[in-house]
Amino acid sequence: MGAASFSETVNLRAFLQNPPTAIFSSGENFDSISYFGFNKRHIHPVIFRSRISSHGKSKLFYSDGWHHKLRTTLLSTTGDSRETSTDVLDDGDDASRRSEVIGYDEDELLATRNALAEARARQEAIEKERDLLLEELARSEAKQQEYVATIMRDKEVAIAELEAAKALFNQKLEQSVEEKFSLESKLVLAKQDAVELAVQVERLAEIAFQQATSHILEDAKLKVSAAETAAAEAAYQVEEQIRQATEGTIVSIVEQSKDAIEKALAVAEIAGDQSAKAIAVFTDDMSPLDEIASIQSQNFKLQNDINDLKSQLLVSSNEINKLQLELEQARHRCSAFELQASDAEKALLEFQESSKKAALQQEEEVKSLLEKIKKDAAERKRAASKAFKVEMEAIKAATEAAKEAARSQNEAYTKRCDALQRSLRASEAASKMWRERAGTAEALLMNQTSPSDEDESALYVVNGGRLDLLMDKDSQKWKLLGDGPRREIPEWMARRIRSIFPKFPPRKTDVQEAVTSKFISLDLPKLDEVWSIAQEMPKQGDTLVEHVLEKEVIEKKRKVLEHALQRKTIKWQRTPEEKKLEPGTGTGREIVFQGFNWESWRRRWYLDLAAKATDLSRSGITAVWLPPPTESVAPQGYMPSDLYNLNSAYGSVEELKHCINEMHNQDLLALGDVVLNHRCAHKQSPNGIWNIFGGKLAWGPEAIVCDDPNFQGRGNPSSGDIFHAAPNIDHSQDFVRRDIKEWLNWLRNDIGFDGWRLDFVRGFAGEYVKEYIEASNPAFAIGEYWDSLSYEGGNLCYNQDAHRQRIINWINATGGISSAFDVTTKGILHSALHNQYWRLIDPQGKPTGVMGWWPSRAVTFLENHDTGSTQGHWPFPRDKLTQGYAYILTHPGTPVIFYDHFYDFGLREIITELIESRTRAGIHCRSPVKIYHANNDGYVAQIGDTLVLKLGYIDWNPFKEVHLDGSWQKFVDKGSDYQLWLRQ
């Protein structure tokens, strides 16, 4: 083997780039490292052994996997010379196995690797330094931009000061001119003095202007120059550091690479010399007999291997025969399975045919049953239609009789008018005759002739014109009878005229008329609705169950119709307590309607809502809560800016007034949503903070609380929670409270609002609310005190006394002249209506929530624009809405109805019926509540004296209750949802 072939086997560059995996072992005098390397031509293990020399250096040796006797070669170096001493030790009996060994210095190899690692580390450090320098450059640029911004702000301040100086100059000049004209008439010298004074003022103004602007411009120039020099120095330093770092790294890398190359060449020369020596030793010691013996031993091994392979082949052939037998058995089984599958398919086909025949028979039977049911339904329909026609004919006959009576009374009235006119004419003719007789008598007495037509006016003058006023055909009375009244008939006269008609119960047009009247209307369904219910029949359903269910629904509708037709009117008069109006809390019988949702601003909402005023009034609603009217940064209105600008996303100020007028025409209160806690600024302060307000109320930072972290207020600390989205107003300032009072009175008197819904009252103390209500005197006021309820492990706690106590504390702070939303009742209803009705009674037997402790100040609700609508922060369970409204509309407090539920969720008729039951029973905000049952199955309570409510699946009716006296009639029956009874 030559030196060239051996050098191919050991590739130094590949070894340096990809060092082999090492396995370390230790002996008595040697530290051995075994590597597994790869040759270009053959894959064989490579073994290196090292020994620590006297100088602390170790040598590595290479051993190829030739077929020779294993030998161990020991190398050692002494002094500075590179001479190598070799000792060969025999480890076995086989003389044909020899070993070839090469060695090189390990420390030099590790040094080169460490140098490369350090170079890489330095390069990474240099890259990090470069990144840091780039960041510093970016920071310097940002600082330069900040300097430019400060310079621009200083320029704006300078311009403002210039304008102020000019204004001062003009003001002083005007004053001097006025003084000049006033003194001109007195002394000429004074005139000259005034001129000189004006010149001096101009000079002073110029000097002041120069002094005011010079130092600002100088400071600005200095700041600009400083910023430019700082930026230039920073850029120069960055460039210089980058250049020095790159030059140093390049030089160091070049020097290190040169050293590594020189060391590698030296190692390669040493390895070549050692390989040549080893080859020479190997060729001298190897003999051809040894080679022949080694070849024979290899042949024996190969024959043994062949015999082993033959035995394995026989074993594998036997296994193959076994597998073939198993395969044939599996084929027989498969054929048997196929026969069974064919038999199963035949049986399946037979079963399908039999099932089809049975299905056809069942279909025929069902069709026959359906035909019978259709015939029965048709016969019942005919009978019902005949009975209904008879009833309708009776009703028509009654209405025709009433019309005939009215017609006869009209004819009698016209006859009376004709008789009156004839009597008037007869009386006028008689009076004329008596006038003529009186004239003749007077003429005879005065020895004069009978008066002619020309002197008739003189006679009337003598009589004072009284006869002309009463009896002339052109008199005022005759004009009233012939032409009618000159103005609109007053209400009292209209009622007097209507009194001659039959006294049927009048149909109410609005709630005010229903309240003031002594009758309550029948509110019967229209003819179209009656005929639609009478003619309604079950649909042709696919199953008998659906048919029966539809039939039950239709029967329920017909029973409700019969109940409505048989319902009679009752007399009801308002008591003095019902007419009493308390400041901020109304009469106690209000039913509030929230007339908007979170997306209402997308339309001309005031016009849409105004068109619904009549419908709301007829439904029994007494007050409408309108959206925030002021100009706002957010379109919903809860980020107000200019309080006196009422042109909002909901419409213009004219449309707002039109909407309020429509509400007033239907006797509805208009409640305005006012945001008093915060207000959005119009301008930035010199330091870039939005805390300068515009419009009529041009406040500054002194109107903002000092503990607001975002807007640098200079007022007093806040008396409540901080609203972080806008500046929080400091209500402790006298000028702030004075401006808010004037604004509220302007909304009351000029715009037409009747009351307030106060937004986010947790942000300021209730004492200020009391002051605002006393100043504006609203008919009704509601505070939004939204606080979190108590929960344990994600479940609502039963005891919520702390929550409702916080709301009542706020109401007490207002002096009790404002109501508050009963958030406690809403949160409890979320869980109670899911078969946890025991939550609706507290340990004292009272309703939970603010309703149980202070019902006249509790405003109950299920949903609003925050909890529901498109925000959905705390939505009420949709399948429990009917139960929720049955609870709040029959219990004390002031209920609120949400717009979406009334018009979008299809609950209008249900809510109207519940309002009617509240009105019939006379429920108000102070009505007493007596709870009979509250458990998992349901809830039963008596409200007032004439109404009982049942919620849930509990089996109960008034006849089962011992403590209920009197006779009760079921008014509303919604099954397991709720039932209402009224005392007869």
Catalytic residue numbers?
A: 759, 784
Helical packing angle, 801-813 and 823-832, nearest 10°: 160
Q: Shortest CA distance to 662 belongs to which of 597, 710, 595, 600?
A: 595
Q: Do residues 667 and 512 make contact, with C-beta atoms less than 8 angstroms apart?
A: yes
CA distance 850 to 828: 11
Residues 6+ apart with CB under 8 A from 273: none
Distances (CA, A) of 470 to 255, 316, 478, 712: 138, 146, 9, 83
Phi, psi of 673, rounded to the nearest 5 degrees: -90, 105
Q: Do residues 220 and 159 make contact, with C-beta atoms less than 8 angstroms apart?
A: no
Q: Do residues 799 and 790 make contact, with C-beta atoms less than 8 angstroms apart?
A: yes
| Residue 886 identity (one-letter amino acid) | A
Q: Do residues 950 and 886 make contact, with C-beta atoms less than 8 angstroms apart?
A: no
Which helix or strand (DSSP H or E) is residue 165 part of? helix 106-184
In degrees, rounded to 5, the angle at the alpha carbon of residue 364 between the alpha carbons of residues 362 and 367 is 110
Sign (positive/negative) of CA torsion 855, 861, 866, 872? Answer: positive
Counting Cβ atoms within 10 Å, is residue 899 exposed (0-12), middle (13-18) or buried (19+)?
Answer: buried
In degrees, rounded to 5, the angle at the alpha carbon of residue 820 between the alpha carbons of residues 814 and 824 is 130
CA distance 984 to 973: 17
Q: Shortest CA distance to 664 belongs to which of 628, 617, 701?
A: 617
Tell me the CB-side half-sphere exposure of residue 915, using CA atoms within 13 A. Answer: 25
State the first-to-last Cα distance of the chain, in angstroms, to the nearest integer: 127
Kindly report the length of the chain: 984
Distances (CA, A) of 847 to 843, 858, 897, 978: 9, 12, 20, 17
Phi, psi of 501, rounded to the nearest 5 degrees: -85, 165
Unique residue bearing structure tokens 């060695």 = 103
> For 277-311, what is the HEC assignment?
HHHHHHHHHCCHHHHHHHHHHHHHHHHHHHHHHHH
Residue 844: other Cβ atoms inside 10 A = 7
In whole angstroms, what separates CA 7 from the centre of its chain?
78
The two structure tokens encoding residue 495: 């009622």
Phi, psi of 59, rounded to the nearest 5 degrees: -110, 145
The two structure tokens encoding residue 488: 């609109």
Q: Do residues 845 and 881 make contact, with C-beta atoms less than 8 angstroms apart?
A: no
CA distance 563 to 569: 13
CA distance 521 to 568: 9
> For 236-263, what is the HEC assignment?
HHHHHHHHHHHHHHHHHHHHHHHHHHHH
CA distance 893 to 856: 5
Residues 6+ apart with CB under 8 A from 21: 35, 36
Residues 6+ apart with CB under 8 A from 472: 478
Counting Cβ atoms within 10 Å, is residue 108 exposed (0-12), middle (13-18) or buried (19+)?
Answer: middle
CA distance 625 to 822: 16
